[in-house]
């Protein structure tokens, strides 16, 4: 039984330096700290994110930001609406939400002020808020990703002991899509040696594709600080035969080697293709000034997403992230800049990115994106 500690937050919306190319968010919002789902692979217990003194308390002590709606109401009035991700380091629909309803109150405010939303969860409690998510989807943009990493009943108690069953998550995806809310699967992480068989990858993708609009693939399970300690404990206790394999795969590194990640990405990509399902979330579309600049910026981010996916290197496309951000920050129309022949003057935009922008502004599509999307 978790202990709840009510706290007062000074601020609630955290702005990211760069837009995220997976979930398209510019803001993160965590109404709770700590998570009752206690997934054994969770990376939110690394020192980087942790507010608890002992990482073992992450699922035993839940900090509840009671004043979050009040603080948010003040913050949103000063900001231009943009995508808010709930939540980066906790699940917004963990059991605490049944009691406190902070996520619901926050969604009411975001809906009222026209903020688009991405929700990431492992709980079918998200269906409780279908009315609000529908309202946000109609007004701006709303996407819900439910994590599903396996349907294997023997492994789930070791990996995700307290989350809703994957069948219920799949049912939630179906219902959300039927309600007009874009919903898909976040297949993250693909846990080495437990979930990385082609049978498991195929099963998740095949079953998910019956109801989901997209499947995101996360083959790069990290093992950092507390996360590593906890996961190796799990292996020692329940899968001792895998300990040496993990040592060989990770060594001192936080992620598996790129060749391993690329192999899984390729395998997952081929199943996605076979099942006719996207392996990315399409960029958000919502009304905002200089909309074409936003489209071009998002096109570059999507190309970066695929370059990183194909190379299995999360830093292989930073030039695209930077150019995307600079284009989003422009105060002049990108089309006018293009017509004056001055795209090259935009900071971070080199000749190859100029060509991509010209192609898009002329044809409304991108050959480069098509190439990266189908690289395998
Ligand atoms: S649901 Fe997410 S935040 Fe919660 S324990 Fe699992 S991985 Fe961590």
Distance 103 CA to ligand 1 centre (A): 16
Whether residue 285 lies inside any domain: the answer is no
pLDDT bracket for residue 87 (50, 70, 90) = confident
Q: State yes or no: pLDDT of 356 exceeds 90.
A: yes
Measured by CA distance, the residue closest to atom 8 of ligand 1 is 42
Domain boundary at 212, 244, 275, which?
275
In a domain, 210, yes or no: yes
In a domain, 241, yes or no: yes
Residue 58 CA to ligand 1 center (angstroms) comes to 10
> What is the best residue among 39, 92, 150, 165 to mutate for testing ligand 1's pocket, by most ligand atoms within 8 Å of CB?
39
Distance in angstroms (rounded) separating the CA atoms of residues 60 and 37: 10
| 269 and 181 within one domain | yes
| Residue of minimum CA distance from atom 6 in ligand 1 | 39
Shared domain check, 133 and 265: yes
The residue to mutate among 23, 29, 30, 35, having the most atoms of ligand 1 within 8 angstroms of its beta carbon, is 35
Mean pLDDT lowest among 240-249, 313-322, 350-359: 313-322
283 inside domain: no
Q: Please return the burial class of 189, using the count of CB atoms within 10 Å of its CB with bins 0-12, 13-18 and 19+.
A: buried
Indicate whether 103 and 131 sit together in one domain. Answer: yes
Residue 343 lies in a domain: yes
Q: How far is CA 81 from CA 1, 40, 315, in A?
A: 38, 35, 28
Q: How much is the pLDDT for 272?
A: 97
Q: What pLDDT, on a 0 to 100 scale, did the predictor assign at position 375? A: 87
- Examine the domain organization and report whether 59 and 208 are in the same domain: yes
334 lies in the same domain as 270: no
Q: In what order do the strands lie in the sheet with 13-15?
A: 13-15, 27-29, 84-86, 117-121, 142-147, 182-187, 215-217
What is the average pLDDT across 112-138? 98
The ligand 1 atom nearest the CA atom of 41:
7
In Å, the largest CA–CA distance within the chain is: 65
Residue with tokens 């690394």: 46
| Domain co-membership, 215 together with 310 | no
Same-domain pairing of 166 and 311: no
Rounded distance from Cα 39 to ligand 1 centre (Å): 5
Q: The dihedral of CA 259, 264, 267, 271: what is its sign?
A: negative
Q: What is the arithmetic mean of pLDDT over 71-80?
A: 97
Map tokens 């002020």 to a residue. Answer: 113
- Residue 58 CA: which ligand 1 atom is closest? 5
CA of 139 to the centre of ligand 1 (A): 29
- For the stretch 322-329, contacts whose Cβ atoms lie closer than 8 Å and that sit 24 or more positions apart, written own/partner, are 322/18, 322/348, 323/348, 323/349, 323/350, 323/353, 324/18, 324/19, 324/297, 324/298, 324/300, 325/17, 325/18, 325/19, 325/297, 327/293, 327/296, 327/297, 327/300, 328/19, 328/293, 328/294, 328/297
pLDDT exceeds 80 at position 74: yes
Residues 267, 364, single domain; the answer is: no
Q: Domain for residue 280, yes or no?
A: no
Q: Compute the distance between CA of residue 30 and CA of residue 77 in angstroms, rounded to an integer.
A: 19
Residue 107 has pLDDT above 80, yes or no: yes
Which of 275, 307, 326 is the C-terminal boundary of a domain?
275
Question: What would the mean pLDDT of 212-226 be, rounded to a whole number?
Answer: 94
Work out which ligand 1 atom sits closest to the CA atom of 89: 3
Contact (CB, 8 A) for 34 and 62:
yes
Ligand 1 pocket test: pick from 42, 63, 148, 234 the residue with the most ligand atoms within 8 Å of its Cβ. Answer: 42
CA-proximal residue: ligand 1, atom 3 (nearest): 90
Q: Please give the pLDDT value at position 345.
A: 97
* Assigned token pair, 80: 């231009």
For residue 314, pLDDT over 90 is answered with: no
Q: Where are the beta strands (DSSP E) in 91-141?
A: 117-121
Q: Which domain holds residue 253?
A: 3-275
Residues lining ligand 1, Cβ inside 6 A: 35, 37-39, 42, 44, 90-91, 122
- The closest of 91, 31, 85 to 59, measured between CA atoms, is 91
Per-residue pLDDT, averaged over 199-207, amounts to 98
Q: Is position 144 within any domain?
A: yes
pLDDT in tens, 134-182: 999 999 999 999 999 999 999 999 999 999 999 999 999 999 999 999 9
Does 43 share its domain with 132?
Answer: yes
CATH of the domain at 316: 1.10.150.110
Give the pLDDT of residue 257. Answer: 96
Residues 55 and 178 in one domain: yes
Grade residue 69 by pLDDT with cuts at 50, 70 and 90. very high
- State how far the Cα of 267 lies from the Cα of 246, in Å rounded to an integer: 21
- Statement: residue 47 has pLDDT above 90: no
Helix (H) or strand (E) holding 355: helix 351-363
Q: What is the CATH number of the domain that holds 37?
A: 3.20.20.70
Whether residue 366 is found in the same domain as residue 217: no
Give residue 307's pLDDT.
Answer: 95
| Residue to probe by mutation, ligand 1, list 44, 48, 187, most atoms within 8 Å of CB | 44
| Neighbouring C-alpha atoms within 13 Å toward the C-beta of 135 | 13
In the structure encoding, which two tokens stand for residue 322, read together?
């930077």
Cα 185 to ligand 1 centre (Å): 15
The torsion angles phi and psi of 249, rounded to 5 degrees, stand at: -75, -45
C-alpha of residue 157 to centroid of ligand 1, in Å:
14
pLDDT in tens, 13-30: 999 999 999 999 999 999
Probe ligand 1: pick from 32, 120, 122, 123, max atoms within 8 Å of CB? 122
Domain shared by 250 and 341, yes or no: no
pLDDT value for 1: 83
Higher pLDDT, 54 or 8: 8
Indicate the number of domains in the chain. 2
Computed over every residue of the chain, the mean pLDDT equals 96
The predicted pLDDT at position 316 comes to: 87
Which residues have CB under 8 Å from 94's CB, separation 6+?
32, 35, 36, 37, 62, 123
Q: What is the pLDDT of residue 88?
A: 85
Question: Is the CB of residue 300 less than 8 Å from the CB of residue 320?
Answer: yes
Q: Kindly indicate the confidence band of residue 262, based on its pLDDT and cuts at 50, 70 and 90.
A: very high
Residue with tokens 């959300």: 176
- pTM (2 decimals)? 0.97
User: Considering Cα of 212, then 215, then 216, then 220, what sign does the dihedral take?
Assistant: positive
Mean pLDDT of 171-194: 98
What is the whole-number distance in angstroms between the Cα of residue 98 and the centre of ligand 1?
17
Percentage, residues of the chain above pLDDT 70:
100
What pLDDT, on a 0 to 100 scale, did the predictor assign at position 97? 98
């Amino acid at each position: 039984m978790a202990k709840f500690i009510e706290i007062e937050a000074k601020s609630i919306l955290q702005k990211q330096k760069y837009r995220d190319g997976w979930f398209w968010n510019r803001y993160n919002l965590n109404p709770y700290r700590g998570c009752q789902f206690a997934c054994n692979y969770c990376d939110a217990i690394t020192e980087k994110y942790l507010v608890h003194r002992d990482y073992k308390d992450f699922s035993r002590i839940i900090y509840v930001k009671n004043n979050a709606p009040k603080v948010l109401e003040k913050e949103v009035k000063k900001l231009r609406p943009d995508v808010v991700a709930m939540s980066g380091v906790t699940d917004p629909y963990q059991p605490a939400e049944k009691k406190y309803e902070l996520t619901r109150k926050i969604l009411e405010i975001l809906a009222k002020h026209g903020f688009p939303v991405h929700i990431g969860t492992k709980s079918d409690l998200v269906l409780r808020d279908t009315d609000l998510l529908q309202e946000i989807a109609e007004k701006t943009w709303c996407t819900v990703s439910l994590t599903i990493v396996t349907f294997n009943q023997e492994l789930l108690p070791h990996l995700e002991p307290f989350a809703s069953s994957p069948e219920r998550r799949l049912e939630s995806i179906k219902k959300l899509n039927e309600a007009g809310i874009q919903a898909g699967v976040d297949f993250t992480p693909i846990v080495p040696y437990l979930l990385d068989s082609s049978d498991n990858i195929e099963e998740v993708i095949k079953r998910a594709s019956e109801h989901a609009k997209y499947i995101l693939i996360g083959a790069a399970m990290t093992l950092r600080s507390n996360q590593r300690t906890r996961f190796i404990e799990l292996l020692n206790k329940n899968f001792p035969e895998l300990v040496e394999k993990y040592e060989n795969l990770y060594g001192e590194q936080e992620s598996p080697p790129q060749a391993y990640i690329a192999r899984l990405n390729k395998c997952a990509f081929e199943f996605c293709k076979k099942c006719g399902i996207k392996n990315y979330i399409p960029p958000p579309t919502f009304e905002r000034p200089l909309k074409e600049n936003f489209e071009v910026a998002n096109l570059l981010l999507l190309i970066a997403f695929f370059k990183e996916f194909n190379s299995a290197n999360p830093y292989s496309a930073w030039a695209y992230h930077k150019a995307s951000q600079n284009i989003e920050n422009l105060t002049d129309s990108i089309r006018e800049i293009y017509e004056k022949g001055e795209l090259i003057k935009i900071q971070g935009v080199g000749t190859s990115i100029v060509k991509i922008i010209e192609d898009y502004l002329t044809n409304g599509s991108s050959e480069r994106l098509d190439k990266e999307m189908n690289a395998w």
